Every structure is written in C-alpha cells, then in structure tokens.
Structure 1
Amino acid sequence: MGQWLMGVSLIDGWLPAVLFAIVILSVVILLVSAIAGGKQTVPSAKHNECMRLVALPIVIAIVAGVAGYTIAWLLSDVFVAFGVGLGPRVMAWAAAGSAVAGFAVAHLVLRKGMMRVVAVILTVFAVLAAAIGIDQSYGEYGTIGSLFGVDPYGQANLTGLTKRKDLTTIAQWREQVANGTIRDIPTKGTVDKVDIPAIKSQFKARKTLVYLPPAALVKTKRKPALPVILLMSGQPGSPGRAFQAGDIQTMMDGYAKNHDGLAPIVIAADQLGDDSHNTLCVDSKVYGNALTYLTQDVVNWVKTNLPAAQNAEDWAIAGFSQGATCSLQIGVNHPDLFGTMIPTDSELGPTNGTRQEMIDSFFDGDAKAYENQVPINAIRNHAPTHQTLIMGAGEKDTTSVRNIRKIAPVAVKAGMNVTAVESIGNAHDWHAVQDVLRYGLAVFGYDTGLSDTKPDLSDYPNLKRVAV
C-alpha cells in the first residue's frame, strides 16, 4: 500500500483529476445553495440576502485572486525571491488558488450547517489543487514519493560491468543488428542507483542514477561503446528528481526503440551533496570538492566500469537551472572531457550570494578563479573551440532567454556549433528541459553515430530558434 501510494502521479492520472473535481463540485454546491437561499427569503429581504450569500463571496474571491497574483508577481519578478521568475502559469495558479480559497473562507464565515462543512472542504482542497497546478506547471515532483525524496529506483552494483577491451564500435553494432547477428534486444533500458566512490575528491555525494540503454543489456560479451550524457538537476534537486522530472527513461527508451536499441548512457550525478547546498560546482572549503568529483571520480568510474565511449566528442554534459550553469562552466573548461553541452535555463554565472561573497567563500579571495567559472569568460579563455552547444530556455523565462542572447554569440564567435532555442509556452521548468533535451539527444545521437538522420529543428514544434 505504501509503495503504491508513493508512486501515485501528481502530474496526471486520477489524483489531480479528483482534486480539481472536488474543488469544482464544492464551488457549484455553495453557489447553488446560496442562490436558492436568497430566493427563499421574503421579497423585501431577497436582494440583501443574494448580495450577502452570492455577490459578497464572489467579490472577495476576485480581491483574493488579484492579491494572490500580485504577491506571486512581486516575489517572482520584483524581489526575485526564488532566484528565477516563476512564469505566468505558476502566477495564474497562485491567483486561482487564492481566489477559490477566498471564496471558500467567505462562505465559511457566512454559512451555517452543512454548507460550512463544504466551505471547510473547499478551503483545504483549493490549496491542494493550486499546489498540484503549480507542480504541473513546473514539473518538478512527478509522484507523491518524490515529495519525500522517495523514488522507484533500486540499488545495483555495476562495477566491472564491461571490460574496455570487449567494446565494439557503434557502426559494428548496427551492422550486426542489420545482418541478424545481434538479436533479442530488450525493449527497455534500466535505471539503477549506484555508489560512485569519491576517491580523489572525498566529496559527500548522494547516490548516482545510471540509465543503461537496451544495447548495453544484450547478453553478449561484445557490447557497443556508447556515448554518455552527464546530467545535473537544479538546486534544490537530486539525481532522482532529475530523472523523474526529466522523464529520462521514457525519453531514452523511445530513442532506443527507433535506433537498434542504441541510446546514450545517462549519468545523473550529484553536484550538490544536499538539497540545501549550492556548491557552484567548484572545489571549495564550503561544501567540498564537487568539481573534482564530477570531472574525475564520476567520469573515471563510468569509463572504467560501463560500456562507455572514451573520447570527449562522445560525451555530453547537460543540466537545468543551477545544473545548467554547471554544465556550461564545466563543459567549456574541460573540452578534453565533453564535446557537447545541453544547458536549459542557465544563469550567466555561478550564483550563491554576491560576487564578492562567492569570491571570498568559495575561491579563497581569488577573483580570477571566480571569473574563470563564468561561462562567457570560460568560452573566451578556451577559444577557439569546436564543441557543440545546444542552449535552451523556457519561452516565458525571460531572464534565461536574455542569458542565451548574451552567451550564445560569444560561443559562436569562439567557433562552437551553436543552436539556441526556446521552449514554447514554458518557463523555468522541467517541461522546457524535456523539450530542449529531446532535441539535444537527437543532435548528440547524430553526431555520435547512433542515428543517420540529421535532426531538423522544424520537426520539434515545441521549440523555436532564438536569434543570436
């Protein structure tokens, strides 16, 4: 029962439908009973009773809705209390939830008996429904379990899964599938938690999630050397949340289904150590050696133990929000490790306090060390470079779109192969990540030989090009 409950979806399915239905039904009951109550009064009091039971709650609802939207707008776009804009859909849900709650509270004060009970129920469910709506807009928590850090992934020991000398090329694999030598390819890949030893960094990371595509699971000694995507969540966030909110397994399995079981290995590594930590993805005395963990411990473990390609052109680094900023600064500063970067909703640079606070705390007062982690500076420092950059943002996340327009031209000038896109209708959310990553997967797959079809942006209707 507990496991079933933890797996109940917050994004679609029966739970959101039931919550929204209860809210609508409660509003209808209160309105109908209020109108009926007004009609039953004597003619001289009918107008006043209708005003009291019908018009007054509606007026309060409108005032509450405007107040809710205004507060959300102030927190989002004026005070930037969350570090990013919330987006119009989130603010609309805040307004709707406030309006319905205001309507319910008005009836709670004005009504008696069963109608007061209905008003109590509506108050509670108005808040819950608004929370569900906001989560659906953002796409962060996919299940009830994800709210409590519970995910469906099991622990596995993948150490020594494949020996490097046994690996074949992608071209050889595809030829063997075509001639029937390779058969019985699984229809789905697997996702497992693993402990990657922090041998060099001593960084206290949470468990890593590893997606292995069907081609890595075929019962043959000679597995293909697969490209790799290193994926990072935002902050707060975790590897499990990145996989669930990004719908990574579904995306990769869908790709593998159309490409002979081939898809990248996806490694969701922990760059934070804890939801409350923003490590800036650097080595520091504040939260430990996050950069060394990612670029040495994780990369070396993957190359040693999994059927993973070894060259930089076969590795991509991707992320959302704080993880997007990390993917840029790490990818650009380590062209020997990563040939492709796929950041969504990136900041202009590492952000945890003021510039001087970061320099003092994370870089021991070394301003140059901080500046080297700012993506624009890092791109210029490593120019010319022929890495691939697929940079995206939610259309409604105007700050991140502006960041693209500042970073992408510098990358173009440095010689990068750049595609800048907006996810239509989305904001600073995981829906945008899915849109951008789906296109990035197609580009990366073509570049690494998983597919012969060069992707065309026009085939991705949720995306539009950003002029840079």
Structure 2
Amino acid sequence: MVRAQDPPGSHLPADVLEELGAGGDWLSSWWTVVALLLLAVLAVLWAVRRRAGHRRAWPQWTAAGLAVALAALFVANIVVGYAPDVAAARVALASRGIGQAPEAHAAGTHDGGVESVQIPAPAADRMPDDSLTWVYTPPGYPDGSTRYPVVYLVHGTPGASGDWFAAGDVPHAMDVLLAHGLVQPMIVVGVDVNGTGPGAADTECLDSTTGGSQVETYLTDTVIPWVDGAYRTAADWQHRTVGGFSAGGFCALDQGLRHPELYGTILAIEPYGDPGAGGRAMLATEAEWDEHDVLGYAPTIPLPHDVALFVDIAGREHGQPRRDGTAIAESLAARGQDVLQREEPGQRHTWTMARVAIPYGLVFASAHMP
C-alpha cells in the first residue's frame, strides 16, 4: 500500500492545474451568453420601435425570447459542465444514439488515442445492442510488449458511456498528466451501464431480478474479458481500477468491493452508499437490496487483498454523497486500507466537479497499480 504524508492524488502542481483548466470553446464561454443577451436586447428594442410605428413586432419578440432561452441553456451547460466544447458535445450525443460518433483518433507521440467500440453482449445480459464503449489509449500505444493498466469509469444517472470522455474531459486530463510524468501510461474505458426493462435508465450496475438487464454480469463477464482480448492490458486485479461519479460512484464502490478478484483500486466521486430508487426497480426483494448496501457491508465485507479507495466530495454539498462517502472511507481506513478523501471547494454535484476531481483520482489510481 502507498502511505505517505503527501500521498499521490492529494495535490497537483499549479502549472498542471492551469493546463487541465485550459480548453473549451464557445459552448462553455460566458461571452456566448453575453452575445445572446445582447441579441435579445437588440431584438426587444427593434420590437418596441416597430410597435410604436404600428407594424408587426411578433418576429422580433420571438427572436428575443429564443435568444434568452438559448442563453439560459448555455448558462446551465457552463454551470453543470456537460459539454465544454463541440467535440465533447458530439461524443455525448453519439453516446445517446444521436448523430455519428467522431472518427477514431489513434494514439500519437504526444497525445493519446480515442475510439468508440461496440462490445457484443450475450442475449442473456439483456443489454442494449447499440450502446457504445469509449476507450482512451496512451501516447505510443501499443509499444512493443508493454501491457497497460486499465481504469474503468462509470457514468451517473441520467447518463451515457461517453460522459467521462465529454463532460469529464478524461482524454485531455490523461494527456496532461502523462506529459508531466504524474501517471503511468494507462488505458481508460468509459462503459455504458444503461440497460433494458425495469430500471433501465438507473441500473446501479446491478443484475436485475425484476426482468431487466444483467449489468453486473455484463461488466464482469463481457466487458472486461473483451477489453483484455482487444487491447494490450495487464489483466489482473492489481492493474484494474473502477471509478465513477454520483450513481457511478456507487457502482464503483459496489463492484470494487464485491469483486476484489477484478479490481484493486476504487475511485468514488460524489458517491452514494446504497442502490437507491434504481436498485429498488432492479431488485425484487429487500434482502437483495441489502446485499448491495455498501454503507452497511463496508465494515465487514471480506477483503482478500488490500483495497485502495479514493473519495472526492463537492465542497458545497452536504447531502447523502458526503455522508455516505465519508462513512465508507472511514470504515475502510479503520480496516487498514489505503484511503484518500478529498474535498473540492466551491463545487456542487455537477460534471464540473467531476472534471476537477478526476485528475487527482487518476494520479491516485496510477500510484496503486504497479
């Protein structure tokens, strides 16, 4: 286990933070909001002038209303951080079956590669047959006989597989961290845990007993073997990390702790400690729900090897993710596991917060995958 006064993932250099914060375009610019509001003001003035001249003004009023509505949408996007740029928007839309996925970008000398793939799932998994999985490969991949650690990232609810590659800005974060030698070359996989049947949009990564998808089986028996077969991975628990945001944070905790044969490191960003309403739609009985109550089983679940846990909490939130994440971190720390808990000042339960948090988590994961 890694133990230090200043453990990996607790801090990042100022120049790295500056590079991580760079990027974005007109989709995430306050100047776009200003321009739209200015357009609305001009449309209103034009409408008033036309009305004073006893001429039709409804087209100008309509234009003003549309400009204000668009400005509100841009403000929401800037605050939530869902589509920082056009490329991210294309990834997010493609993950939801809207438009074409961007063409695969092969790993180069200085930047990593990104591609979307369709992983064939057995009919018994009851998973959608058109979902995309997103894969980041580090610069220079594949390099001779090198095998790479893998970080699996799970989206929240509502969400889709491309969220970590769009709103989470993971490819850019990995490129920056690699350029500064803060992480080792790693493969990052954005998985789709949306399913079919009851609880389809909030599966909590569970195997449904109410007629829905078998998401846990899909992850463990379909996705991981497929990735290990298609990419040059180090295929053991020591070199696998599972992480997620919000409901995906619960998935990371539940899958990581209940499958130590697959994972050695967990990244839980603003996590919930139980399956919630999605779990009640996916599972038929209270006993089944209790089996996935991380908050309840964290103090006693068997751990055949050390588990490293990274928890990151939004500074301006004081609800269930803070309570559950802190309690689970304390439970595992009391059991001698390597735990790092961070708090992101000023942040709320948004993708902006997740984008701020994930570089620290990637550094933590890299340090715990030998």
Counterpart pick for 2:315 among 385, 392, 395: 395
- 2:240 corresponds to: 315
Counterpart pick for 1:191 among 94, 104, 114: 114
1:299 and 2:224 are equivalent in the alignment = yes
Looking at secondary structure, tell me which structure has more helix per residue: 1
CA contact (8 A) 1:201 1:290 kept: no
> Could you tell me how far apart the structure 1 residues matched to 2:82 and 2:160 are?
11
1:154 and 2:103 are equivalent in the alignment = yes
- 1:406 corresponds to: 327
Letter in 2 for 1:198: A
1:233 and 2:155 are equivalent in the alignment = yes
> Could you tell me how far apart the structure 2 residues matched to 1:248 and 1:203 are?
29
Change in CA separation of 1:405 and 1:228 when aligned onto 2, cut-off 3 Å: same
Counterpart pick for 1:336 among 261, 277, 297: 261
> Could you tell me how far apart the structure 2 residues matched to 1:276 and 1:112 are?
55
Letter in 2 for 1:325: F
- Structure 1 residue 434: deviation in Å? 1.7
- For normalisation by structure 1, the TM-score amounts to 0.63
Change in CA separation of 1:22 and 1:383 when aligned onto 2, cut-off 3 Å: same
CA contact (8 A) 2:138 2:186 kept: yes
- 1:253 corresponds to: 175
> Could you tell me how far apart the structure 1 residues matched to 2:309 and 2:266 are?
5
- 2:35 corresponds to: 21
Q: Which has the larger radius of gyration?
A: 1
- 1:176 corresponds to: none
Structure 2 unaligned regions, length at least 5: 1-23
- Structure 1 residue 116: deviation in Å? 6.6
- Structure 1 residue 201: deviation in Å? 5.0
1:12 and 2:28 are equivalent in the alignment = yes
> Could you tell me how far apart the structure 1 residues matched to 2:51 and 2:314 are?
42
Greater relative contact order (Cα < 8 A, sep 6+) = 2
> Could you tell me how far apart the structure 1 residues matched to 2:135 and 2:74 are?
29
% identity of equivalent residues: 23
> Could you tell me how far apart the structure 2 residues matched to 1:292 and 1:341 are?
19
- 2:82 corresponds to: 140
> Could you tell me how far apart the structure 2 residues matched to 1:18 and 1:447 are?
42
- 1:446 corresponds to: 367
Change in CA separation of 1:32 and 1:272 when aligned onto 2, cut-off 3 Å: closer
Change in CA separation of 1:110 and 1:136 when aligned onto 2, cut-off 3 Å: farther
CA contact (8 A) 2:310 2:341 kept: yes
> Could you tell me how far apart the structure 1 residues matched to 2:287 and 2:99 are?
41
Cα RMSD of the aligned pairs, angstroms, is: 3.4
- 2:297 corresponds to: 378
> Could you tell me how far apart the structure 2 residues matched to 1:201 and 1:297 are?
11
- 1:277 corresponds to: 201
> Could you tell me how far apart the structure 2 residues matched to 1:204 and 1:247 are?
26
> Could you tell me how far apart the structure 1 residues matched to 2:182 and 2:328 are?
36
Letter in 1 for 2:233: A
Mapping for residues 24-35 of structure 1, pairs under 5 Å: 24=38, 26-27=40-41
> Could you tell me how far apart the structure 1 residues matched to 2:103 and 2:43 are?
46
Letter in 1 for 2:141: A
> Could you tell me how far apart the structure 1 residues matched to 2:83 and 2:247 are?
17
CA contact (8 A) 1:189 1:217 kept: no
Change in CA separation of 1:386 and 1:200 when aligned onto 2, cut-off 3 Å: farther
SS in 1 for 2:276: coil
- For normalisation by structure 2, the TM-score amounts to 0.78
- 1:167 corresponds to: none
> Could you tell me how far apart the structure 1 residues matched to 2:66 and 2:47 are?
20
Structure 1 unaligned regions, length at least 5: 1-7, 38-107, 159-183, 450-468
Letter in 2 for 1:292: T
- 2:6 corresponds to: none
1:416 and 2:337 are equivalent in the alignment = yes
Query: Cα deviations across residues 403-426 of structure 1 (Å, max 9, x unaligned)?
Result: 323322222223221111222222
Query: Cα deviations across residues 141-189 of structure 1 (Å, max 9, x unaligned)?
Result: 3435445744643369x9xxxxxxxxxxxxxxxxxxxxxxxxx971111
> Could you tell me how far apart the structure 2 residues matched to 1:351 and 1:110 are?
57
Change in CA separation of 1:270 and 1:30 when aligned onto 2, cut-off 3 Å: closer
Letter in 2 for 1:141: A
Letter in 2 for 1:308: T
Query: Cα deviations across residues 24-59 of structure 1 (Å, max 9, x unaligned)?
Result: 35437868999xx9xxxxxxxxxxxxxxxxxxxxxx
1:124 and 2:66 are equivalent in the alignment = yes
- Structure 1 residue 350: deviation in Å? 0.8
